[in-house]
Structures are given as C-alpha cells and as structure tokens.
Chains A and B, each alone.
Chain A
Amino acid sequence: MKIALSLAALVALALAPFGVSDYGLGLLIGAVTYVTLASGWAVFSGHTRYVSLATVAFYGTGAYTVAVLNEAMPYWLVLIVAGLIGAAIALVVGLSTLRLAGVYFVIFTFGLSELVRQLITWYEVNVTGTLGRYIFLDVSAREIYWQMLALGAATIALTAWIQRHRLGLALRVIGDDEVVAAHSGIPLARTKLTAFVLSATILTLAGAIASPRWVYVEPSIVFNPTVSFLTVIMALLGGANRLWGPVLGAVPLFLAFEWLSARFPDTYPIFLGLLFILVVFALPDGILAGLERLKTRKTEDRA
C-alpha cells in the first residue's frame, strides 16, 4: 500500500513538468534537488549522528566535473565519472577521518569544503588562467528535472532498503553507542565507510545533474557553504533518521527560503538562524518524531 502510494506520487511528479510554467519548473527542480541532497545526506548522517558539513564539497565537485569534462565526453559518461570521483574522494576522506570523534568530524568536513574551494580557485587562477567555466550542454530543464527526480527516488528507495538491511541496523547501533556496537561485532570502520561513500556518491551526482542549470560555473557559486547548512537543517527538521523525514523538511524549507530570499534578501540570514535555533530547541528529533509523541500522548490521555 505504502509502496503503491509512493509510486503513484512519483508518476504524478514525473508528469508535473507538462502542467507548470518555466518558473514552476525551476521551483520543482530546486525542491527535488534539496530533497535528494537532504535524503542523500541522511543516508550516512541520519543514523550515525556524525554531522557532515561536506555536502557542498561533493555537490560542487560533481558540478565542477561536468564543467571540466562536458566537451570531452558524452553526457552520460560524464555523470558516471562524476559519481566515481565523488566515491573516490569519500573513500579517501572516510578512511582517514571516520575514526575521529564527532566534533572533530564536523569541523573536518567543514574545513574540507573550504580547502577544496580554495585549491580549485587557486588552480584555476594560476594554472588554467580562468576563474569561471561555461557549461554548454543540450540538456533541457525538463530532462534535468527527470534525472534529479530519478536520483531522489533512487535515494529514498536505497534508504528504505538500508533501513531493513543489516547495514541500517549496524548504523543505528553505532549512532546509539559506538562502544556497544564494537562489542557486538559490528565492523565500525567498514560500516561507516560504506554509508559515507554511498551518501557522497548521491551528493556528487546531484551536483553533476544540477550543473547544466547554471551555464556559468565558478568555485564561489558551486562551493557555496550555505548548501551544506541548508541540507543539514532540512534533514533535521523533518527527522534525519526517518525515511520520509528529509523530504518533509526539504520541501517546505526550500519554498520558505525561496520566498524569503526573494522578498527579504537582507534579513534572510536572520530567519535562517532563528529557524536553526528553533529546530534545535523545539524539535531536536524532527517533525515526525514530534508528531508521534503528540499521538502517543493523545492515546494515553484517552486510556
């Protein structure tokens, strides 16, 4: 029943571009992109409580790969290469950092995004001599939308599968208590690494798919740290450890931020900050958990 409902929603969403304006399609692409990013982020961070701020490092790497390779290879091959590069970076980063305690991991991932941006900027300015690159690809907005929708659907399906699988159970135990996890025979490093690489590949692909929308790409655009923060807050608002949590957080927040940044471009960071604080204090486990608490309290009242 639930699967049928999800499939029906997917079909409806896939047909949506035929009924909306160009602006509407832009909104749809943005919403689906953030749903994909938040869900992809939650594949690793949702259960383990390792808050990664490297989202934009992978997202930007994906976009940049397309910008560099789009004239050298066919589009589908570029996507595959982008995914592989993302997975390779995640493997190296994961192998070296996943032994770090939580807070160092957060700072490391944040530093990583900045380091990648600085290095690419420096390389482009000093070695290639151009800061920006152009992406001339014959990919229409509708095609981008469908690709992103497919990636988002695949991410949610993957999350559903992981949650029912040994990997999901292992990740949940690690999130609860790493010492217990190690004692019950869970290979800590391998489990975390698998989830991290899966998550990073999704994020990189999302950046690669979204890149033709920009046409002009430079490091400060594609490595904008706000993307990392938005992804985290969206996933947390909905409930990062739930299947539909990131979706539930991403859609309303994306629309709210679109509206706010168009209407109040100056005071927009203030709203973002207030929302962050509100979520941390009022809904530490997300909307879904909050709703469930409300429900159980009601049934208890009746009994």
Chain B
Amino acid sequence: MLVTTLILGLVLGGTYALLALGLTLQYGISRIMNLAYGEFTLVSAFALVALFKGAGVPPLLAIVLIAPLGYAVGWILYAVMMRPLVARAGDAGRLDVASILATFGLMFLIQGGLLVTFGADFTSITYLDQGVNVLGVPVALNRLIAFAICVVAGGGLVLALGRTRWGLALRAVAQTPGSAPLVGIDVNRVARQGFALGTALAAIAGASIAMHQTFSATDGVVFTMKALVIVIMGGVGNVAGTLIAGLALGLVETFVATAIDPGLTLAATFAIFLVVLLWRPQGLFGRR
C-alpha cells in the first residue's frame, strides 16, 4: 500500500516537475510571470492529439517535432509582446504587474481559441498503456515514459545550467540582471532565450501529459497553478529545487487521494502553496 502510493506519487510528481521546469526558467531568467503557461502546455497537448489522430504521427516523434516549435513560438512571443513590457516597466515590481496582466489576456485568448477549435469536451489518446511491473506495482508504460522525459529534461537542464558557459550567462541574468551587461552579457538576448526555452519545456510537458492523461480546453488554469505552486516551493529559477518540489507535490497528492479523500487533492495543493508562501516565500531550498 505504502509502496504503491510512493511509486504512483513519484510518477505523478515527475509529470508535475516537468510541467514546472519551463515556468521556473521563464520567471527566473526572463522575469516574466507567465499566467498563460498552462495554456501553452494545452496547445501542445492538443497538437500532439491532432498529429496522432489526424496524421498518425507516433507521439514520441511528435514531441521531438513540437519542442522546437515551442522554442520558436516562445522566441517570437518574447520579442513581440514581452520585450516592450520589459523596456517600459523599469523596476521589477512594475514588470510583474504588467506581465501578469498581459499574460492574463493571452490566457483568455488561447483558451478561447482552443474552445473554438477543439470544443469543451475531454480529449485523450490510447498509446502504450499496458502495465509495467515496478517493484510489484503495475504502472502504465506511458506514465513511465513521461517520467523518463522529466528525468532527461530536468537532468540535462541542471547540467547545462551548471556546467556550460551558456548556462553561466543564464544564471548571471537570473541573479543580477543589472550587472550582467557589465561582463558583456546581452541581457535581452539571454532573457529571450530563457523565455523560449521555457516555452519549449512547456510544450514537451504538454505533449507528455497528452500521452497519458485526459484533458480539456479549460484545464490550463489548473496546470498553471500547479506549476506555480512547484516553482515557488522549489525557489524561483532553481531547477533542482523545482524537480524535488514537483516530486514532493506528486507524493502529497497521491497520499491525500488514497488516504483522505480524492476530492481534496486540489485543496491540498493550494493549502501547501499558501503555507509555503507565508512561511518561506523564497522557496523551500532558496536563500534570501
């Protein structure tokens, strides 16, 4: 029983961690609080379903196609929509408010577009859903693949940010955007890269969610909120913290659903979130 909860929780948490990675990059590096993040993942999820059902593209190949597309979309969005806000805002507080309001508009826009195109019904596909035995617990293969994608993407990101020169520039902008230009870093370019990379990760997360989960055009807000909870728990911009917080959230939700009441999982998420915000707004692993 306990082992079942643990394994299912970790697998669910892997999806959550993957979901939150892009948001932590977007807010940590580009300083854009993107409330349309969940809608980005949904667009990618619908794209995967459309590719699979319409053109017969295998989902794993579809992810490889969708991810660079996500990067391009994020790049353009930052250049067209976010950059003017950054230039106008001046200080961080004003940029927060402006980006929240602008991405709110974007959220409604995408959600409306999805509702018109795909309708309000729940969508899902059947793909690799045979059970695999993990330590005596049957887990669907597609969930394990999603977990593996999370491990690869998260691990790769930790290495890239920690070990490469490019990662160093990204971290410099995340830490002190004011001083980064002094050492020859083009802050605008790095922020655009961060935002685009975040969008690509959102696309990967959305596509892997579509492989194993039922979703509808109005689910974006829930995805955004879960990603936000994890980002703030892990500390903004902290990739390793985000991975741990995502796994922790998956464990807590599975535990609440099995031991207390499945109707309370979302309430538990928000409760944890509020407690973390009050107790450690810099994140569980963050430093002030």
Contact = CB atoms under 8 A, between A and B. Distances in A.
Given A125-B263, A272-B112, A111 B100 contact: no
A280 B96 CA distance: 12
Contact of B228 (A51, A107, A121): A107
Interface stretch (B102-110, B141-149, B204-212): B102-110
B128 interface: no
A38 B222 CA distance: 26
B172 to A, nearest CB: 21
Contacts, number: 119
A126 B228 CA distance: 29
B105 to A, nearest CB: 3
A274 B277 contact: no
A281 B81 CA distance: 9
Contacts of A115: 267, 270-271, 274
Given A122-B263, A281-B84, A103 B277 contact: no
Interface stretch (A10-18, A262-270, A289-297): A262-270
B7 to A, nearest CB: 26
A172 interface: no
Kindly state the interface size class of chain A when it binds its partner.
Answer: 35 or more
Interface in B75-112: 81, 84-85, 88, 93-94, 96-98, 100-102, 104-112
B108 A276 contact: yes
Contacts of B116: 266-267, 270
Nearest to B270: A115
Nearest to B120: A266
A280 B95 CA distance: 11
Contacts of A272: 105, 108, 112
A100 B277 contact: yes
A294 to B, nearest CB: 19
B273 interface: yes
B266 A104 contact: no
A229 B116 CA distance: 21
Nearest to A115: B270
Contacts of A100: 277, 281
B225 interface: yes
Most buried by A among B88, B105, B267: B105
A280 B88 CA distance: 11
A273 B102 contact: no
B232 interface: yes
Interface residues of B, number: 42
Contacts of B94: 49
Contacts of B264: 118, 122
B267 A119 contact: yes
A270 B117 CA distance: 12
A264 B93 CA distance: 36
Q: Which residue, of A273, A276, A278, A281, has the highest number of chain B Cβ atoms within 10 A?
A: A273
Interface residue SS majority, chain B? helix
Contact of A269 (B84, B109, B278): B109
A225 interface: yes
B267 A270 contact: no
B273 A111 contact: yes
Interface string A273-291: 1111111110010000000
Given A111-B273, A126-B261, A229-B104, A102 B109 contact: no
Contact of B105 (A118, A125, A266, A276): A276
B96 A103 contact: yes
Given A107-B228, A114-B225, A284-B98, A273 B278 contact: no
User: Across chains A and B, which 7 residue pairs bring their CB atoms closest together, nearest first?
Assistant: A276-B105, A273-B109, A273-B108, A269-B112, A270-B112, A277-B105, A115-B270
Interface of A: 49, 51, 96-97, 100-104, 106-108, 110-112, 114-115, 118-119, 121-122, 125-126, 225, 229, 232, 236, 266-281, 284
28 contacts: A51-B97, A51-B100, A100-B281, A102-B97, A103-B96, A106-B33, A107-B228, A107-B232, A111-B270, A111-B273, A111-B274, A114-B266, A118-B264, A126-B263, A229-B104, A266-B115, A267-B112, A267-B116, A269-B112, A269-B115, A273-B105, A273-B109, A274-B105, A276-B108, A277-B105, A277-B106, A278-B105, A280-B98
